[in-house]
Structure 1
Amino acid sequence: MAVVGRAGELPDSADVVIIGGGVMGTSIAFHLAEAGVERVLLLEMNELGSGSTCKAAGGVRANFSDSVNIALGARSLEAFAAFQERPGQEIDLHRVGYLFLLDADEQVEQFRESTQLQNTLGQPTRMISVDEAVALAPVVAPDGLVGACFSPTGGHCTPESVVLGYATAARRLGATLVTGCEVLGIDAVGNCLSAVRTDRGVVRTGTVICAAGAWSESLAASVGVELPVTPVRRQIVVTEAIAGLPAELPMTIDFGSTFYFHREGPGLLVGMSDPDEQSGFHLNRTDTWIPRLTDVMVRRAPALLDVGLIGGWAGLYEVTPDHNALIGEAADVSRFLYATGFSGHGFLQGPAVGEVIRDLYLGREPFVDISPLDAGRFQRSTTRAERNVV
């Protein structure tokens, strides 16, 4: 469900133009406006949150294998926990934990290594037994599992509410958010940005922040910036009510199959990647992946096979070649900043990335060194793989 807000009037000029009205764009707008940056303009072609954000499963965690992702996730968890006070919005946060189910010794070793890294960075993630995992998530069948990893600080919340909170606060602090406004291109004179062209007019600006998710690649290309982002459809279904679900059921991921679920009201929100899915802007919901989902349920959660489905939706992952985000400022185009390509973990990093982009814009040192996530890493052959993603 998209977050509906007033469209806003398109100004002739702005100090900063943010393209994209999902969690990333609204978080950036809030953090810039809170820091006193004037004439902040956010442009969204549809409604706020109508792209990938409000199609997300809503999981929040710091359980990653990469130190930068751990830092971004941990910082964001702190922000989600305090969201009612700053920016001021109820987001239905459930810190029920994040549970990874592992069915191979190599997976156990991989998660043991990442758990040790997380522990050194202050995260209470721990390896647990299969019996402990089943006790946490009783719908899970233990057959074939050899271990599990549990992060008690993770959980899930409502993406639409996060967008609404950031958008409302950003407007209150003086930012302008314009919906129903499609960006057609970005103009530059030499290596200096000059304007953003939209279907509602031209906005003069010297700074553009690309937070357009799966739509980022073509926008950046209009000023010669390469952002290798590929859209890939992911689909989610919601079940009818299930009796006996634990109130504290964790966000649970069967790592080998990518099957995952968490509580959604009296039922479950369920998803899984489809290896046969072709890249592209495929936004329609289909049933082609359901047989594969059913096959996984047979062995991992057979109790769910007789549960009916009451809804679902399709959304887009914004995937990069190494499944890590693109965060930084273009080297050859002055004041073109970007935060995109999160490959499925953008929602949960939104609060922290808003801080990072604010600091990059203001010339401050961010709380974490994000230079390894610069888009130029692909030209330098210094890609940075994140292993704890599905």
Structure 2
Amino acid sequence: MSALPERTDALVIGGGVVGTSIACHLAEAGVGTVLLERGTLGSGASAATAGVLRTYFPGDPHTGGLAVRSMAAYHSFAERTGTPLGLERVGFLVVFTEERQVEEFRRTEAAQRAAGVDVELVSPSAAVRLNPLLNERAVLAAAWSPDAYACDPAAIVRGYAAAAQQAGAVVRTETTVTGIDPDGRVHTSTGSILAGTVICAAGPWSRTVASMADVDLPVTTYPVELLLTDPPATPLGTLPMTLHASSGLRIRSWKDRVLVGMGRPGPEESREAWLQRLSRLLGTTYPALDGIRLHRGWSGAFDASPNGTGLIGRHPSRSFLYAAGFSGQGLCQAPAAGETVRDLLAGA
């Protein structure tokens, strides 16, 4: 691997969907850009998602607005980067089991629509038509957003990284940041580089990276695990990504199986107890999956902000920008995050 350049206008730390998007947007705007990734591109939080792009985020029209902007970018992604994403429309269904959830939907529906989010409240019978595995008696109502697509997150990372390099950015993998000096000199496992602006997009490692620059970024890290079922007895069609609002249980079809997730074990809960709780809820909500065997799919870590909304901004007194704390939603917001950081840097 060649040595790092001596200096750069912007140094992006983190090579996931958000970091590569930032690098691409900066390089295409004519900003000298270097991207550093401690492992391989897309090997962090970007590799731990369920691989669905969506625009509806319950109770969060702001994130929905960023996701709508990002969805438009993804639809033109292949034309821009030469990398097809293989988008498959699956839709997003949120199952409500409590009246307060329905009331919250109605309270924010107008704001969601104002942000460009296509979503509507549907009846239990309509929810079952959309996802035939659902137990209709376990549904009070549901929110349906057709604008959700299965995708290949690794292709997004590859496409943005390739476009960034085509525009002149330097991308270095297997390069761990070990220190950041007050003057913007960044020390790494393979040398040092002087940066006009440091941009932290390091996902679960963002707080650690920020602390090297004496920046307190309020991001926490939590583990996630996705599971795969055995193939169901009756072959599946394409299921929408379906979220059980009360528990966080999520499912979507994955080839001939079902992909399942439900956050993580509670503070005093073992993995075994969590799996038992997940299995019980899975069987109650989706009777056809009652008792089905679950297997490890893949796991990783996500970065979260205090309110679950991504943090994008700049430090008030130093050349340090950040895009972190997306709580597993960075995939849906990466294009808009790249645009926002580019504009923040241009306004410096």
With normalisation by structure 1, the TM-score equals: 0.84
Q: Is contact 1:8–1:178 with CA below 8 Å preserved after alignment? A: no
Paired with 1:202 and 1:183, the residues of 2 have a C-alpha distance of 9
Provide the identity percentage.
40
Q: Is contact 2:16–2:46 with CA below 8 Å preserved after alignment? A: yes
Q: Please, which of 29, 34, 39 is the counterpart of residue 35 of structure 1?
A: 29
Corresponding position: 1:272 with 2:257: no
In structure 2, runs of 5+ residues without a counterpart are none
Task: State the 1:306 CA deviation.
Answer: 4.6
Give, as a single letter, the amino acid of the residue that structure 2 aligns with 1:241: P
Instruction: State the Cα deviation string for residues 2-50 of structure 1 (Å, max 9, x = none).
Output: xxxxx66422221111000000100011111112222x10000011111
**What RMSD over aligned residues (CA atoms) do the two structures have, in Å?**
1.9
Relative to its length, the structure with more helix (as a share) is: 2
Query: 1:244 — aligned with what?
Result: 235
3-state SS, counterpart of residue 14 of structure 1: strand
Q: Is contact 1:115–1:127 with CA below 8 Å preserved after alignment? A: no
Q: Please, which of 205, 215, 220 is the counterpart of residue 225 of structure 1?
A: 215
Corresponding position: 1:116 with 2:101: no
Q: 1:14 to 1:126 in 2, by over 3 A?
A: same
Task: State the 1:97 CA deviation.
Answer: 1.1
Give, as a single letter, the amino acid of the residue that structure 1 aligns with 2:41: L
Task: State the 1:156 CA deviation.
Answer: 2.6
Paired with 1:238 and 1:68, the residues of 2 have a C-alpha distance of 32
Paired with 1:165 and 1:228, the residues of 2 have a C-alpha distance of 30
Q: Is contact 2:123–2:142 with CA below 8 Å preserved after alignment? A: yes
Aligned residues: 345
Task: State the 1:272 CA deviation.
Answer: 0.6
Query: 2:203 — aligned with what?
Result: 213
3-state SS, counterpart of residue 322 of structure 1: coil
Paired with 1:142 and 1:277, the residues of 2 have a C-alpha distance of 32
Task: State the 1:288 CA deviation.
Answer: 5.4
Q: Is contact 2:3–2:191 with CA below 8 Å preserved after alignment? A: no
Paired with 1:170 and 1:128, the residues of 2 have a C-alpha distance of 42
Paired with 2:115 and 2:212, the residues of 1 have a C-alpha distance of 39
Query: 1:50 — aligned with what?
Result: 43
Corresponding position: 1:323 with 2:308: yes
Query: 1:146 — aligned with what?
Result: 140
With normalisation by structure 2, the TM-score equals: 0.94
Paired with 2:2 and 2:326, the residues of 1 have a C-alpha distance of 28
Corresponding position: 1:342 with 2:326: yes
Query: 2:177 — aligned with what?
Result: 183
Corresponding position: 1:68 with 2:68: no
Query: 1:96 — aligned with what?
Result: 90
Query: 1:283 — aligned with what?
Result: none
Paired with 2:115 and 2:194, the residues of 1 have a C-alpha distance of 43
